[in-house]
Amino acid sequence: MTDLAATARAWAAQDPDAGDRAEIEGLLAAGTAAADAELADRFSGRLEFGTAGLRGLVGAGPNRMNRAVVAQTTAALARWLDVHRPQARRTGVVVGCDARHRSTELADEATAVLAGDGIPVHRLPDRRPTPLLAFAVRHLGAAAGVMITASHNPPAYNGYKLYLGDGAQIVPPVDAEIEALIGQVGPLSGVPLADLSDPLVVRHGDEVSEAYVRSVVAAAPTGRSPDEPLSVVYTPMHGVAGDLFLEAVGLAGYPAPSVVAAQAAPDPDFPTVAFPNPEEPGALDLAFADARALGADLVLASDPDGDRLAVAVPDPSASAGWRRLTGDEVGVLLGAFVLDHVRDGWRPPGEEGARPLVAASIVSSTMLAKIAADAGVPFVATLTGFKWIVRAVDAVPGTRLVFGYEEALGYGVSDVVHDKDGTGAGVAFLALASDLRARGSTLDEHLGSLMRRYGVHRTAQHSISTHDPEDRMARLRASPPVEIADLKVVRSADLSAGCVWQEGLPALPPADVLAFWLDSGGRVLVRPSGTEPKLKSYVEVVREVQDGDLAGALAAASRELDAVGAALEPLLGG
């Protein structure tokens, strides 16, 4: 404990926040086993850039989100920009934040460090969604962007997302280069801080938000207008997307949805949900209750920072009378809708001269690739994370992204925002649902027609909480399965050294992912979570529809999906 105590005292001595210093000092003074364990965890390492930037519990110490960690990271960013993006001293960096605990003060810290280093800061209004920050970087011609958010993590978390001038989140080797520079920052007392009223800090009003809303609405495909508009229930889930989502819906010409009142205002405690993630069971219960009371046609939900979209439809067989569509179902429906427009010659504004391209992460359904091939549009599979999806065009020169998605409810319609964007996706989905109603069809019926044409593609994700995901991945590499649920593994791939995933396209970058293809036509991918202590597996089962028997194909696919899922827990060490 002596070395740990000395390390903790040294950290506290340079921590700029009085509350965080007191937190460390209180743990040191407690002298209990629980306090010692807490200190050991807080100083077990430093938050590192993962799939979506830095993310961790809010609190004092290097393994937590706090002002000191933000100051160190931002000082390192400033040094990196000086070497790699010297124009930053002219064009500046955009800084934004959501409504989570301490988001504003952490954004203030990043602002003060950047301006203190002589870098102009475009400070967006507080409590705004992540896609706005990604849009603003390119809209304002900035060299980088910093967004303080933890997306859909529990209330105790916050995070730091970093974007470069292309409006996309950083990818290797930039993350490693900045982390290496963090070690060179030295005591924070030596990091100059500007006053937030410094002339280098430009505080933007609503003009950037208005440009964002106009742009995402202009980029969304349109559909026929039904005689009777859809009745829609919407929830921002205590997050920050609500105002801009409603503005976009109105500008696109759709009636205002009914907003779940108890979840309408931003609240960092997320009091009405156990976990503020629209994928989690129970997260949409209040929306479903409102939808039942109103006799609504559709439920839409944003996650807390507005970059993801959940969709639910009426389903008498479901216990709540409503069923949330999976991320793959929404991705396929939206992707097919966009590709139908592409067939008719449609292009989003600014993309008329480029060949359209669609993309999805390798853990998402393979169905979109088949739809794209049928439309004669290039498809690219990427690593997990929208930072890779928006860069899919690099694999096929002369193309522009018209649609991309990942199964975790992330969608991008056009390349107006170089990140997933729940608002743009929501407007596009309203166009699709309205068009189907005008044609006398429904979302379920349309999904069924796509399955009859391209096959049933059932997908599921399984997570196992573990403190040692890397060790479990190593064991799986050392002893890979020869069969899963009595299905033979006919092919496997280890992406740790990079991998050619699609013939004729560049190899994917190295990633901690294992893939297994089964003799039934299904597949399983396994990877550690980039934001949580979990091992994740992604299962896809494919069945052709024979003689028009969609129900039979669905039932067979569901049985295999369940069997493979049950076999994975002991295989992965759960």
Residues acting as catalytic residues? 151
Give the other-Cβ count within 10 Å of 425's Cβ.
Answer: 30
Phi/psi for 136 (5° steps) reads: -65, -30
Kind plus residue range of the DSSP H or E element containing 490: strand 487-494
Distances (CA, A) of 173 to 83, 176, 470: 14, 5, 20
Distances (CA, A) of 484 to 65, 493, 525, 571: 40, 15, 12, 8
Phi/psi for 396 (5° steps) reads: -135, 90
Q: Are 405 and 428 in contact (CB under 8 A)?
A: no
State the SS3 of 19-78: HHHHHHHHHHHHCCHHHHHHHHHHCCCCCCCECCEEEEEECCCCCCECHHHHHHHHHHHH
Phi/psi for 419 (5° steps) reads: -165, 170
**Dihedral (CA of 52, 57, 60, 61) sign:** negative
Q: Is the peptide bond before 173 cis (omega within 30 degrees of 0)?
A: yes
Residue 482, burial from CB neighbour count under 10 angstroms (0-12, 13-18, 19+): exposed
Give the other-Cβ count within 10 Å of 292's Cβ.
Answer: 14
| Residue 542: closest CA among 418, 438, 454 | 454
Tell me if residue 201 falls in helix, strand or coil: strand
Rounded Cα distance between 255 and 253, Å, is 7
Rounded Cα distance between 218 and 413, Å, is 11
| Residue 94: closest CA among 53, 143, 148 | 143
Rg (CA), the chain: 24
Which spans in 226-301 are helix H?
242-251, 285-294
In eight-state DSSP terms, residue 328 is H
Tell me if residue 169 falls in helix, strand or coil: strand
Give the 3-state secondary structure percentages of the chain, helix then strand then coil, rounded to 5.
40, 20, 40
